[in-house]
Amino acid sequence: MTLEEQLKEIRRGTVDILTEEELVKKLKQNRPLNIKFGVDPTAPDIHLGHTVPLQKLKQFQDLGHRIQLIIGDYTAMIGDPSGRSETRPTLSREEIERNMETYQKQVFKVLDQDRTELLYNSTWLEQFSGTDMIQLCSRYTVQQLLQRRDFNERIKQNKPISVTELLYPLLVGYDSVHLNSDIEIGGTDQLFNFMASREIQKSYDQEPEAIITLPLLEGTGGVKKMSKSLGNAIGVNDDPNDMYGKIMSISDDLMLKYYELLSETPLEEFQEIKAAIASESVNPMGYKQRLAREIVSRYHGQNFAVSAEERFNRIHRKRDTPNQLEEEVIKYSASERELPILTVLRQIGRAKSNGEARRLIEQGGVRLDGEVISDVGYSVSLKDGQIVQVGKRYFRKLRYEKNSS
């Protein structure tokens, strides 16, 4: 690629490049650049929002650059204070190691493992002496640290800030020094840490890294950022059918953002898709299915993607099932592995008795995931996301919940 072609690819989906002039200068050196991406394994699973920077790393990888994937096994014991209104609980080494194992498996579904330098910052940070830590702390001021909005808010609200939290940006900044990083990539919420890294590199007489910030991806509702706790996340380890269905449920506008940030569709083709949808000359459904196929294939393989699409078409399109479904919670006891279909129909309120539930089934009015239930003795497996249909217009998504008693 020419320099301009590389820049077009790099700019795709970015919020800001600090500075583009520095980035161009580095690219002109015609050498593999050190591209830093750090992650603290504070949770075992990741969702599509977490993969946005991974997609950008993959672009750099394809351009021939060196990816420095830093597993912050040392800094995870402190926890990133970005966006936090209170101090994080400290994680044990055992928790971090468990999280690291599953996290790596998911990350390398996006990145080429053979072309990724996997690093653990405990390798160098655990070697720090007291003198080393004092010297590092002398390179940044308390005033600079307190410019962090999160810290300012907590001071105003008289909420505590631990000294370890103040150390966090200094330690991740030293990661950049140790690795002589050329570029660092991450979400907009990491900007303070990135700027601190630049200053610390300068204090060690290194050329500061260029910064590329990326947007935070909205969840399926299209408003709030993707978060497992908000119930709007699409997990990398989600069941293929659930993953496909969640992608199909997003709005057309959000679909374009997902294309820009998550898809490997070439940039020119993406612009054509965007223009075609804006002109209303095409049905967006086909492009949404293409996106769902691509993402499910990436994390589960092509066969699962094809199967998920066939299932979706059978249930939602051929049966005219609404994309947005209300959810019904079905209660079960600890000893139960399946529930009679009669019990399910009673719990969702479509039958007051077993006799009424039997009549519905005998009349052919009950479907589960698009298939007619004709056996009144049918047992339903306890799997979240199943769609029950009673009659022509009643559709519900089922979620199973164990009785607390």
Element (H, E) at 186: strand 183-187
CA gap 69, 120 in Å, rounded? 8
Peptide bond into 19 cis (omega under 30): yes
The one-letter code for the residue type at 98 is R
- Please state the pTM of the whole predicted model: 0.73
Structural domains for the chain? 3-214 (3.40.50.620), 228-317 (1.10.240.10), 327-402 (3.10.290.10)
Q: Residue 263's pLDDT is what?
A: 94
Strand partners, 373: none
Provide, for the chain, the percentages of residues in helix, strand and coil under a 3-state DSSP scheme, each rounded to the nearest 5.
45, 15, 35
Backbone angles phi, psi at 221, to 5 degrees: -75, -20
- What tokens were used for 179? 């690795």
Distances (CA, A) of 399 to 327, 330, 337, 393, 396: 7, 6, 14, 20, 10
CA distance 55 to 10: 11
Token pair 């204090």 is found at: 203
Distance CA(197)–CA(105), nearest Å, equals 28
Per-residue pLDDT 10s for the chain (405 aa) are 899 999 999 999 999 999 999 999 999 999 999 999 998 777 777 899 999 999 999 999 999 999 999 988 888 877 767 765 566 666 777 888 888 888 888 889 899 999 999 999 999 999 999 999 999 999 999 999 888 888 888 888 999 888 888 999 999 999 999 999 999 999 998 999 999 999 999 999 999 999 999 999 999 888 888 988 788 899 998 999 989 989 998 999 999 999 999 999 998 999 999 999 898 888 888 999 999 999 999 999 999 999 999 988 877 655 555 666 788 999 999 888 899 999 999 999 999 999 999 999 988 889 888 778 888 999 998 888 888 988 877 888 899 998 876
| Burial label, 333 (beta-carbon count in 10 A; 0-12, 13-18, 19+) | exposed
Quick check: 352 and 386 in contact, CB under 8 A? no
Distance CA 116, CA 108 (A): 9
Q: Which strands form 183-187's sheet, in the order they lie side by side?
A: 16-18, 210-214, 183-187, 34-39, 66-71, 116-120
Give the HSE-up count for residue 144: Cα atoms under 13 Å, Cβ half-sphere: 16
Q: Say what the pLDDT of residue 391 is.
A: 84
- Cα separation, 249 vs 240, in Å, equals 14
User: Which residue in 50, 176, 191 sits closest to 121, CA to CA?
Assistant: 176
Q: How far is CA 268 from CA 9, 264, 275, in A?
A: 10, 11, 11
CA distance 204 to 177: 7
Q: Is 99 exposed, middle or buried (0-12, 13-18, 19+ CB in 10 A)?
A: buried
Handedness of CA 95, 101, 102, 103 (dihedral sign): positive
pLDDT at 98: 82
Residue 319: what pLDDT?
A: 54
Distance CA 20, CA 211 (A): 9
Structure tokens at 91: 């994680």
CB atoms within 10 A of CB 378: 15
pLDDT score of 206: 97
Query: What pLDDT is recorded for position 227?
Result: 86
